[in-house]
A and B are shown apart, each in its own frame.
Chain A
Amino acid sequence: MSWLPLSFGAPMVLWGLIALPVIWWLLRLTPPKPQAEVFPPLKILARVLSREETPQQSPWWLTLLRLILAALVIAALADPVWNPREALPTKGSALALVIDNDWASAPDWDKRVATAERLITDAGKKGVPVIIAFTSEKPNAEIGPFDATAALDHLRAAKPRPIPTDRPAIYARVAQKLSGMPDASVAVLADGLAAKGDREAFDSLLSKNAANVVWAVPDRLDALVLADAQNEVDGFALTAIRAPGDVAPRQVTAGAFDEKGRRIADATLNFAAGATTATGTMKVPFELRNDFSSIALDGERQAGAVRVLDDSAKRRRVGLLSQIDADQAQPLLSPLFYIRRALSPFADLIDPSGADLAKSIPQLLERKPAMIVMADVGTIPPETRQKLIDWVDNGGTLVRFAGSRLAAAGNDDELLPVHLRTGERSLGGALSWTTPQPLSDFPRTGPFADLAPPKDVTVSRQVLAEPGPDIVERTWANLADGTPLVTGLKKGKGMLVLFHVTAEATWSSLPISGSFVEMLRRIVQLSRNQGAATVETGPSATALAPYRMIAADGALVPPPSDARPLLPSPGQPVTIENPPGLYGSQTGVFAHNLLNAKSTLAPLQRPQIGVPVTTVRYAFDQSRHLKGSLIAAAIVLMVLDTLAVFWIGGAMARFRRRPAAGATAAALLIALAALAVQPNPAKADDSKPGDEAAIEAIDKTRIAYVLTGVPKDDSISRAGIEGLNRFLIEKTALDPGPPAGVDIGKDELSFYPLIYWPIDPAAPMPSQAAIARIDAYMNQGGTVLFDTRDQFSSSIDDGSASPATGRLRDILGNLNVPPLEPVPPDHVLTKTFYILPEFPGRFTGSPLWVEASPDTSGSESRPVRAGDGVSPILITANDFAGAWAIDANGNPLLPTVPDDPMQRVYALRAGVNIMMYMLTGNYKSDQVHIPALLERLGQ
């Protein structure tokens, strides 16, 4: 089977294929069993059938189908494997795996794991112990020896780290473990990058007991890394490097990302053929550059292709120097005032602590500003002068403004861009016939070339430059008559700039023009920062906490648990405790990058090894077991065979002939499918406790009564409302539900249109909360019928109220009771169902109090007063419930006073009217328009 990437786990089973001809012979002999049918007119059928030849054997295609089926089953039992992997050459009493999991291993880490898995699986089959060590892990990580299962667990738990390898330490540990195991296999799964101490590391690793070596490095080192990113004048200069083995020309795109990971700029870097370095510039505006948080090479999924940036690449620090103490009373005359206002939006301004130049200049230089602005500083103390010159030579930008001191101090070739004439020039003064000069266009060669020339700036005094051969190229701005106004000179890596006017508005109007800001800003952009922001070093330096780390795949992630705070100083090594990334906090960060500008990617050289070496490639295990597929194919064939047998047996034709049966079968299939596919729709149970009671309460209109706590009162109330219900059912269309006794402190009241409340002084006073609920109920449209039932029990003396009335007053004192009045003769309550002049109960004579109607005048022509809404409160003393109350047989429970049968009828009618009033409101008062409406309709 060498021509096929196929092997069998149990090749002996394939001998079973010999049985195929036998199966074929058997299959040929046994046609499918026919359907047996009794058929009386056989003689007639025999005459027809004699003409057709009956197949005595199976059709050839069915036999073929079954043979293939048998062959598939036999092949599946033989356990075939597609693309079988070759066994890796490990032997000996132990296997030691040393795996590089540094940043360069991240892109194809899965392949490395797969390779290592194969090695471990082979070792596991042989039962030898496995030592597994990762070169970028902590030096004290557990390395074994393990059995194969534990080793695989360790392997799967490992992940690439965004840090370099530490081969010497790890290899030494492995060698130490190996010392007790003679004849061990050592598998080196390297990332292909050389590191410091490789030679010694390999020597120590292979010195002990290594019987053979499995050597795996990537086929090619195609990692591109970003070695440097510098914020230059006109953009970010990027430097990418690659390994020397990679010689093809290559183009790569770098992207810059802000703090939130948004891509805000691009640059293209080109590797020439054979070159290991590519540079490119990200030409974006200065403001945008300040938003850069990280720069990454596209398509490189490893930590080396990402650089994080901190403040040192962003805002420039500008030192300000002046010898005139700022007069706080006259800030506009301070020389630094305009500079400060112009620079503060886009630069960090540093002020020295004192005016003494000898101290303040070193103080400023210590903080490594990108630029120092000197406003009219004439003489610089000699002890600091050299420091300043060195600073400029190393890249500092010194901006000086003229003034009387500078003019008096004379020339300074090293710290002035041009040679100055002594003294100053005055234009437009009393003794001069010239006029103040405006600025001309900025020279094309200078850095201000693309700025708009200020039209309104005039210069009345300036210091003059000595003309020289190079004065033109040093001139960045000049006046209309050609004399230089701003001159600049590159000195060393740095720059010297001189404004020939003062920094305040005495000599010219330049400092108060917009161009001044533009010019200063351009100079700031030209400057470059001179180092990290933090200058504290030594024991007092504070360590910065990890803030955003570069993960092994190049993503910026929150710090892992093993990241430690970092002392912010350049040159700190990248270790597992200080992985690359940003340290600090949101307010200020320090960038800790994996590589620096001097980094190179050297390929790892295979050391001279005295023992046999096998080189393997990183690759995935591509073997596939075909057993499942073959069995699945066999099952499909089996289904086909079943269908074919059905077809031969005539089931299909029978279904066709009997469409009902076919439709039934189809419907059954569809139902089964639907049953299988459709998940049982879960029905959310949204019921809440008390739902049943609420549904019961609102199912029918129910009249409620207050459970006073006195059993006698409650039973009378209930019986009374039952009596009223019966009367309502007899006389009206209303079919009320059974009376509802409510506890006003607990029960929901809003279900009931009317609550009957018999006042009994013996009952406990309802709580404030209960009264508040009643108040809310009344405000929301409910009505409470208070019944004091004391019409004849009040004392003769009018001034004293009965106890029930007193209790009612107590209750009403806590309620928002509207103004009340006895039911007037034209109130709608007198007409809602029956026409009633009064509302007697068991007693008679007490008026029924309702909410006072707003307006009674102007409605003489109307029999009923208009008015909206329903009175929220009804008060009577007539004991309605006593008059309504009936027993189970329908007989009255209590006698009326006086004992008049009609009074009970009137009481019930009053109840009907009240109930109709509850349910229909002022409907009856609208009915008074009916005569007018009918008249208009021509009736």
Chain B
Amino acid sequence: MSQKIILPSTSDDGVYTQSDGYEYTIGPKQSLPNEANAIPTPSRIYSESLIYRKQEVSLSAMAFLFQEMIATIHRASSSAQDFETRLNGYGYGIGTRLVELLNLRNSIPPNYSKSSTFLSNSSSTSVNESHGSSGTGTGTLSSASDHSHHYHENGTESLAAVISNMKPRDLKILDILQFVHGTMWTYLFGCASDDLVKSSERDNEYMIVDNLPVLTQFIPAGRSCDYFTCGIIQGFLDSAEFPCRVSAHSMPQGELDQRTVYLIQFDKHVLERDNLRFGS
């Protein structure tokens, strides 16, 4: 009974052998003698590929959702600072996910997506196919996704299996900032940020500049709502073990009246490590 609850992807729980996951109060479990014959516990998230499908939604849908999120947080907040802290927290979790997701995707050989497109065209079993076509028609979709599910349960969903070398982890402050300013910004907002600058006054301070923040362009006055993006940056850098604080500042320039500067202040030890390891 409880097994059925754990397995959202199946309506038929009779065929699967009972198995429990890791329980940290008990410790590691040993392999079971018959586990090789067991069907892997079905799961929606583990069966779907992490490949980037380049799906889009409208900016208005995103903006409406963002504004309602802001309203929800605003109602719960006792002060402006409390609001910024809470909003930062929403973004933070996203940043911690992106550091893994985007680097993993960047490890995929460039010719991989091409070959998978080819595969899906010829066999129509790939997840790309079923999702890609659903925007325009719905008639044959359910059978296509059944197919792709089966296909994935056989292990073909793995991206790691086609990666010979993982993209190197970024070890230097400048490298990780480049990733945030370039890859992450492009993923989130469609283009690299407008500038990445090192503070001339303090060694541990860097700035990412956005002339027109996508999410807050319709929200007048103040940069409070940009603490969502601050949280994403901070979650990303903290998680990659470049702990820092990130704040948003309004710095209009000419006609760019919404120009926003994200100030990144690294913990001292990050700088010390950088100096020690890379002698910059």
Co-complex (A, B): no
Interface residues of A (CB under 8 A from B): none
Interface residues of B (CB under 8 A from A): none
